[in-house]
Amino acid sequence: MREKKSIVLIDSEFKIIMKKIATVLLLLVTLFSYGQEEHIIPLHNSKKRIKEYSNRELKDKAEFIGGEQELLNFYKKNSKFKISPFEKHESSVVFILHLDEYGEVLNHEVLSKTNSKFVIEARRLIDLMPSWKPATLDGKPVKVAVFQSIFFE
């Protein structure tokens, strides 16, 4: 009898682990599916469509003024929750920022489904976010999609 219980327990733990792996793989496929080619991205709540590039694939990327450390400082200064510089799966919010040619945030998409209070806080921080240094391609500013994460404690 004890053997059946441990097999059932192992089976349920295995299913939980497999679901987590599938979620991570889906996220990775989404992240790596953006290339340097143009993408047509519909803006939420709008019939307008824009062309944008993946920031990761550009040589001259968009970046938060002052770099990654300054972005982390911005999150820490403005967040209602404590921010961690290290990844914490249970409380991290992964999202895409859509930036225009001037570095302004046009829109965002939350990719992770964590505690709703963290998603709400991430959206609030995005709304407060100042302009970024714009990305360029062949010397011309372009619209980009930037993958970001905020790790809450």
The model's pTM: 0.66
How many domains are contained in the chain? 2
Alpha carbon separation from 63 to 30, 68, 76, 110, 150 (Å, rounded): 21, 8, 18, 19, 16
Torsions phi, psi of 51, nearest 5?
Answer: -100, 135
Range of the domain at 80: 36-151
At 66-105, the pLDDT tens digits run 999 999 999 999 999 999 877 766 788 999 999 999 999 9
Q: Say whether both 40 and 29 belong to one domain.
A: no
At 7-17, the pLDDT tens digits run 555 666 766 66
Contact predicate 105/123, CB 8 Å: no
Residue 23 has pLDDT above 90, yes or no: no
Q: Say whether both 136 and 88 belong to one domain.
A: yes
Residue 4 has pLDDT above 60, yes or no: no
* Percent of the chain with pLDDT strictly greater than 70: 66
Q: Say whether both 102 and 56 belong to one domain.
A: yes
At 106-129, the pLDDT tens digits run 999 999 877 789 999 999 999 999
Contact predicate 54/97, CB 8 Å: no
